[in-house]
């Protein structure tokens, strides 16, 4: 029991209380469910890896996006986590490639540039026409976008770099938008 709690506590956002709750759940569940959980974890580790080009989670290296003949290889969208890719793919309006950082800069939490997966990004810049910085409009996401822009400018001063627009969410009333959201919505306005 202690061994399991100790391992569960290593998961992000899981404290001792949650770890104990999970462990008791496993204890009460059927042997089949416990085996399925253990097997899912081991299978994930055995068969999935990070794409050596874009850091996306994949079972083949390079991943399906990086090897696709129909994608625009000169357009790269930088995202924080592999899960962000499915959100962009759902729009069906992006046909470029990705680069997954696996995190954002956060000095408070001790996350510096060396903790992000950037090493394989720099060689890709020479092959790109445009880079989209699609990190979240949070303090960390903005700081990460700023850092990337500064670094990119050092070697690629003419590369087109854009930031995703943020602002008032679709379907919401602008009356309830806060100041920051409204400012961004105005800054990101487009001509009709």
Instruction: Summarize as ranges the residues that interact with Zn ion (CB under 5 A).
Output: 51, 53-54, 56, 62-63, 66
Distance in Å, CB of 121 to Zn ion, minimum: 12
- Based on the number of CB atoms within 10 Å of its own CB, is 141 exposed (0-12), middle (13-18) or buried (19 or more)? buried
Distance in Å, CB of 55 to Zn ion, minimum: 7
What tokens appear for 22 in the block?
A: 């999970």
Q: Which is nearer to Zn ion, 51 or 133 (CB)?
A: 51
Pick left, alpha or beta for residue 14 (phi over 0 → left; psi -120 to 50 → alpha; otherwise beta).
Answer: beta
Distance in Å, CB of 28 to Zn ion, minimum: 40
Distance in Å, CB of 78 to Zn ion, minimum: 13
Q: Which is nearer to Zn ion, 40 or 64 (CB)?
A: 64
Could you give the CA distance from residue 50 to residue 116 in angstroms, rounded to a whole number? Answer: 13
Q: Which is nearer to Zn ion, 54 or 152 (CB)?
A: 54
Could you give the CA distance from residue 24 to residue 28 in angstroms, rounded to a whole number? Answer: 6
Q: Which is nearer to Zn ion, 54 or 145 (CB)?
A: 54
- Bridge partners of residue 100, in order along the sequence: 79
């Amino acid at each position: 029991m202690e061994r399991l709690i100790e391992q569960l506590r290593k998961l992000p956002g899981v404290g001792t209380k949650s770890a104990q709750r999970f462990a008791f759940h496993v204890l009460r569940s059927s042997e089949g469910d416990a085996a399925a959980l253990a097997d899912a974890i081991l299978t994930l580790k055995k068969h999935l890896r990070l794409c050596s080009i874009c850091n996306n989670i994949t079972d083949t290296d390079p991943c399906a996006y990086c090897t696709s003949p129909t994608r625009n290889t000169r357009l790269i969208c930088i995202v924080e986590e592999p899960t962000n890719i499915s959100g962009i793919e759902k729009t069906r309006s992006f046909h470029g490639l990705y680069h997954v950082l696996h995190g954002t800069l956060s000095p408070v939490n001790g996350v510096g540039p060396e903790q992000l997966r950037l090493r394989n990004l720099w060689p890709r810049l020479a092959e790109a026409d445009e880079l989209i910085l699609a990190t979240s409009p949070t303090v960390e996401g903005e700081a990460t976008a700023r850092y990337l822009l500064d670094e990119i400018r050092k070697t690629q001063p003419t590369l087109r770099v854009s930031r995703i627009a943020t602002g008032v969410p679709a379907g919401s009333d602008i009356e309830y938008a806060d100041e920051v959201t409204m400012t961004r919505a105005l800054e990101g306005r487009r001509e009709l």
